């Protein structure tokens, strides 16, 4: 289980997170909803060990302290992060991108198994294996980015707004694929502004406002919460 306790992140005098606590278990999808600037990316970057700010508090995975590790160590411990904007190697092929995801020793051992998982989730990547990644559509590039993260054999997969910039149809496909990821045992921490579709596939959710967690509930209860509906579901 990923467990965050009392996490703070400050950029100089600006404090972006104020004592955030949350948990993500294996085989569950947890969504974090928050407006622009609420601190969502700051949270994921701190967990991934790549925060530009000053980080304080506890971050652990199955009881192991992640704060003591550098970013490679966090990946090796079992946390994969797909940043907003995807972060793939545009000049390499789809296949090269996927294999690069398995560069650390633990992942290399499980490369074949994880490749099967990725291709089951995103069969299109097998057809496009030799295509240069930057020539793919936005949705396809998102598949490559998520696939590459899965190749690192994570226990917890963190995604920063994966639906950003996708057409409604691709967005729907992407969420359907994500819904299946938990079947392989991974936990997913999903940051989204698309509340309706993300809550539909999640088990639980958190609300974050101005760097503070202001709500936590089952995804179903959040979908029916008038305050969530007003803020994130267009009042529907």
Residues making contact with ligand ATP (CB under 6 A): 11, 14, 16, 34, 36-42, 52
Q: Is the CB of 46 or the CB of 118 nearer to ligand ATP?
A: 46
- The answer to whether the beta carbons of residues 2 and 23 sit under 8 Å apart is yes
Q: At closest approach, how far in Å is the CB of 35 from ligand ATP?
A: 7
Tell me how far, at minimum, the Cβ of 230 lies from ligand ATP, in Å.
19
Nearer to ligand ATP, 122 or 206 (CB): 206
Nearer to ligand ATP, 11 or 103 (CB): 11
Nearest approach, Cβ of residue 40 and ligand ATP (Å):
4
Q: Which is nearer to ligand ATP, 29 or 47 (CB)?
A: 47
Distance (Å) of CA 129 to CA 86, 137, 149, 205: 18, 14, 16, 35
Q: Which is nearer to ligand ATP, 118 or 191 (CB)?
A: 191
Minimum gap (Å) between residue 190 Cβ and ligand ATP: 13
- Nearest approach in angstroms of CB 32 to ligand ATP is 9
CB of 19 within 8 A of CB of 7? yes
């Amino acid at each position: 289980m990923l467990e965050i306790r009392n996490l703070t992140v400050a950029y100089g005098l600006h404090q972006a997170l104020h004592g955030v606590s949350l948990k993500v278990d294996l085989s569950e999808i947890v969504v974090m909803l928050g407006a622009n600037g609420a601190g969502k990316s700051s949270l994921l970057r701190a967990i991934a060990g790549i925060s530009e700010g000053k980080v304080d508090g506890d971050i652990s995975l199955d009881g192991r302290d992640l704060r003591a590790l550098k970013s490679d160590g966090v990946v090796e411990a079992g946390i994969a992060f797909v940043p907003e904007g995807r972060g793939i190697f545009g000049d390499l092929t789809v296949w090269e991108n996927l294999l690069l995801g398995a560069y650390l020793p633990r992942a290399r051992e499980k490369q074949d198994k994880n490749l099967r998982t990725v291709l089951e989730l995103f069969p299109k990547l097998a057809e496009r294996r030799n295509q240069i990644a930057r020539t793919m559509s936005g949705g396809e590039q998102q598949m490559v980015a998520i696939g590459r993260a899965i190749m690192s054999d994570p226990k917890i997969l963190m995604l920063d707004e994966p639906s950003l910039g996708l057409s409604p149809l691709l967005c729907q496909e992407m969420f359907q694929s994500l819904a299946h990821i938990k079947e392989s045992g991974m936990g997913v921490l999903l940051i989204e502004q698309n509340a309706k579709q993300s809550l539909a596939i999640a088990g639980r959710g958190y609300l974050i406002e101005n760097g503070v967690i202001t709500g936590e509930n089952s995804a179903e209860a959040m979908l029916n919460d008038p305050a969530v509906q007003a803020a994130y579901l267009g009042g529907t």
